[in-house]
């Protein structure tokens, strides 16, 4: 890095130059930081032939015309003309004028406000051999790059001003090729058609259009020509990350505990950064800033958190920040992973059963946690925070409570170890005991129903490998009985198929098919039980708690066949006791629901038909009154709904 600094200073020291130099590097790699902290001060302190050099820095980010660049240069040089401003900047240690202040100066000049009555010293404008111009963010300007380079060439070729350009040439190349792509494609297609080449099948159409675009609109060649004329040397910026990371950590000096922790784990910060495969220090800064919030919240609410857990949180925060913010994955990649247990289950199925359907998660884990042993490696609250910028307190506390109870895997139940830990990590001495413990828990129905199915799939694998001394028929019988007992205390598993599919690789054995069939039968019964309880709790709000009924029905029942799970006679009694206004409201709600969720609520039509018959039987022969009219209308609209299913 010092060699690069010296090379740049040699350029500035040279008596005569008619070229600029370029510093090329990836976005976020610290090029601007390098300029401000390694180059600028050294140039400003140079004294050659009685001259003191002055740097004039300007970012081209967002510049929309060449006049804006001229204004920026003028404002940057006003500090040379205004003694009071120069005095203020010297006293406060300011090296450049803030953008906000520049706007004020620009407006002051526009409205004719003089700078403390000072006269303009024209010699400052005509003196060019003591200036060093630095143009940053060339690829982020909203002006044609060729025009900007031509503009800069005036300073370099005619005035011989030392000029440094900082940019990301890779992005510059992409920008040159992709600008106005729709217009270019249209014109290229038009030309091909006129030339009679559009209908030819000698090469793919996409390739033809691309070739024609490059031939007609080859700005890249224009760029190379002007660059060859303007740029004398291009320096590839390869940052010293240890030095820069140390500078990044300085911002946390006000928090002694945090800075101590970060400095103790600088090696993990650096290694995780390197494993990301990017050079983007900007993302690292954001990740460490996120970790500051995480570290403070953990210490506030859970001050005795295991040190290893904090280290893992640091790695995970940096890793997932790079995966999401560097565009390596879509934000949704981690959304459906609920917790660390599910994350590890995916890893176990992908490693133990050689399942490649979760390839990305396996690669993520292998990359960032290589040679780092930690049983808790996925933090849902951190994933949510990085992805959404919302610190979810409910997810945070839920995660932390689980962590406190599970950081010591030796205390985990045997079945949990099999589901969340590669079996080969269990010692030969422990393995038989864990198997017997799991079988005993299955026999007594201590596992959740879905976990019982998952464990059975692993047991079939262990039998196949000869790791357990049971035949599949015996194991099947044990698990069948265990599932029946577990069903008494289990809840309906909504996404069971997805979770089971994650751990089944290859053809399903007859034993697995039997267990799955039995599981689905029990799970359907649990679903019916769940909906019956829901129907009872919601429909009992009619007629006395109608506001609660409407709120819960809208949130929980619009797209499920809830009427299937409630007795039509009881439903009629409740509706008939409701006010006329509520009868109308319920009728309209049912009509709207049938329009939006026709397919989803079809299973309840048998009960809807029965409810209509009960209402019709009741109102037959009754004297006409408002209530009877309302019930007639209600029955009529139930008929309209039933017509949809003929």
The position carrying tokens 């649990």 is 526
pLDDT tens figures, 555-607: 999 999 999 999 999 999 999 999 999 999 999 999 999 999 999 999 999 99
Look at residue 59 and give its three-state secondary structure.
strand
Give the best-scoring range by mean pLDDT among 227-236, 488-497, 512-521. Answer: 512-521
Nearest CA to 35 out of 136, 128, 160, 131 is that of: 136
Residue 80: its pLDDT value, please? Answer: 47
Reported as type and span, the H/E element at residue 558 is none
Domain-by-domain residue ranges, the chain? 2-176, 241-407, 431-521, 540-643
In angstroms, the CA 578 to CA 501 distance is: 47
* Count of C-beta atoms within a 10 Å radius of residue 61: 12
- Identify the pLDDT of residue 382: 95
The answer to whether residue 279 scores a pLDDT higher than 60 is yes
- 577 C-beta neighbours (distance < 10 Å), count: 12
Token pair of 457 as six digits: 């799939």
What integer best gives the mean pLDDT of the chain? 82
The more confidently predicted of residues 597 and 172 is: 597
pLDDT band at 99 (very low <50, low <70, confident <90, very high): very low
Express as a percent the part of the chain with pLDDT over 70.
82
346-369 mean pLDDT: 75
Report yes or no on whether pTM surpasses 0.85.
no
pLDDT tens readout for residues 219-248: 556 677 778 888 888 888 876 666 677 778
Section 342-361 average pLDDT:
71
CA angle, 615 then 619 then 622, to 5°: 165
Alpha-helix runs per DSSP H in 444-491: 449-465, 472-486
pLDDT digits (tens, 9 = 90+) for 24-78: 887 767 788 888 888 898 998 888 877 888 888 888 888 888 887 887 777 666 5
pLDDT band at 123 (very low <50, low <70, confident <90, very high): very low
Highest-confidence range of 60-64, 168-172, 399-403, 423-427, by mean pLDDT? 399-403
CA distance 355 to 349: 6
More confident residue, 285 or 179: 285
Q: Quote the pLDDT of residue 231.
A: 87
Instruction: Pick one of 2.120.10, 1.25.10, 3.40.50, 1.10.20 as the CATH number of 2-176.
Output: 3.40.50
How much is the pLDDT for 96?
56
How far apart (Å, rounded) are the C-alpha atoms in residues 383 and 423? 27
Instruction: Output the pLDDT for position 169.
Output: 83
Nearest to 364 by CA among 379, 380, 377: 377
The secondary structure of 334-392 as a DSSP string is: GTT--SHHHHHHHHHHHHHS---TTHHHHHHHHHHTTT---S----HHHHHHHHHS---
Provide CB contacts within 8 A for 59, sequence distance 6+. Answer: 136, 137, 140
For residue 532, is pLDDT > 80?
A: yes
pLDDT at 171: 75
Nearest to 454 by CA among 417, 403, 406, 409: 417
Query: What was the pLDDT predicted at 604?
Result: 94
């Amino acid at each position: 890095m010092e060699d690069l600094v010296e090379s740049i200073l040699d350029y500035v020291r040279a008596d005569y130059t008619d070229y600029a130099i370029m510093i090329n590097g990836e976005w976020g790699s610290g090029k601007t930081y390098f300029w401000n902290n390694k180059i600028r001060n050294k140039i400003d302190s140079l004294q050659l032939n009685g001259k003191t050099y002055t740097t004039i820095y300007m970012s081209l980010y967002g510049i929309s015309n060449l006049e804006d660049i001229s204004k920026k240069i003028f404002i940057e040089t006003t500090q040379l003309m205004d003694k009071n401003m120069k005095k203020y900047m010297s006293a406060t240690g300011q090296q450049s004028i803030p953008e906000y202040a520049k706007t004020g100066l620009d407006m002051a000049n526009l409205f004719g406000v003089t700078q403390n009555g000072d006269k303009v010293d024209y010699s400052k404008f005509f003196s060019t051999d003591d200036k060093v111009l630095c143009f940053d963010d060339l690829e982020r300007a909203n002006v044609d790059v060729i025009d900007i380079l031509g503009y800069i060439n005036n300073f370099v070729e005619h005035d011989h001003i030392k000029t440094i350009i900082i940019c990301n040439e890779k992005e510059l190349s992409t920008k040159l090729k992709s600008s106005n792509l729709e217009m270019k494609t249209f014109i290229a297609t038009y030309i091909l058609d006129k030339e009679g080449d559009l209908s030819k099948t000698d090469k793919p159409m996409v390739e033809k259009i691309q070739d024609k675009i490059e031939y007609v609109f080859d700005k890249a060649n224009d760029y190379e020509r002007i660059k060859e004329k303007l740029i004398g040397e291009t320096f590839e910026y390869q940052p010293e990350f240890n030095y820069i990371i140390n500078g990044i950590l300085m911002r946390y000096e006000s928090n002694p505990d945090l800075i101590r922790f970060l400095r103790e784990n600088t090696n993990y910060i650096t290694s995780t950064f390197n494993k990301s495969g990017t050079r983007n220090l900007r993302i690292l800064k954001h990740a460490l800033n996120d970790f500051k919030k995480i570290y403070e919240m953990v210490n506030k609410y859970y001050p005795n958190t295991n040190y290893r857990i904090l280290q893992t949180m640091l790695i995970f925060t940096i890793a997932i920040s790079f995966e999401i913010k560097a565009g390596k994955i879509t934000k949704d990649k981690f959304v459906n992973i609920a917790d660390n247990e599910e994350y590890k289950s995916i890893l176990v199925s992908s490693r133990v059963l050689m399942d490649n359907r979760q390839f990305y998660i396996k690669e993520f884990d292998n990359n960032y946690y290589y040679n780092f042993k930690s049983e808790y490696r996925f933090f849902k609250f951190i994933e949510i925070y990085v992805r959404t910028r919302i610190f979810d307190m409910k997810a945070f506390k839920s995660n932390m409570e689980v962590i406190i109870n599970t950081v010591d895997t030796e205390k985990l139940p045997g079945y949990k170890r099999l589901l969340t830990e590669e079996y080969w990590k269990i010692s030969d001495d422990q393995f038989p005991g864990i198997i017997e413990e799991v079988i005993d828990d299955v026999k007594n129905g201590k596992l959740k129903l879905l976990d019982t199915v998952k464990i059975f799939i692993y047991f079939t694998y262990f039998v196949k490998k000869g790791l357990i001394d049971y035949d599949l028929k015996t194991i099947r019988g044990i698990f069948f009985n265990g599932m029946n007992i577990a069903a008494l205390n289990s809840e309906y598993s909504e996404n069971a198929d997805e979770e089971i599919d994650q751990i089944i690789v290859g053809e399903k054995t007859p034993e697995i098919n039997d267990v799955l069939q039995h599981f689905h039968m029990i799970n359907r019964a649990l679903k019916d039980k769940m909906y019956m309880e829901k129907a009872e709790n919601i429909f009992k709000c009619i007629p006395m708690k109608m506001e609660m009924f409407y709120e819960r029905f809208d949130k929980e029942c619009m797209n499920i066949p809830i009427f299937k799970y409630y007795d039509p006679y009881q439903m009629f009694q409740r509706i008939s006791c409701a006010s006329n206004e509520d009868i109308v409201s319920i009728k309209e709600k049912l009509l709207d629901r049938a329009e939006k969720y026709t397919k989803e609520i079809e299973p309840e039509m048998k009960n809807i038909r029965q409810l209509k018959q009960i209402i019709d039987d009741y109102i037959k022969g009754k004297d006409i009154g408002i209530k009877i009219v309302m019930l007639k209308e209600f029955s009529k609209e139930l008929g309209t709904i039933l017509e949809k299913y003929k």
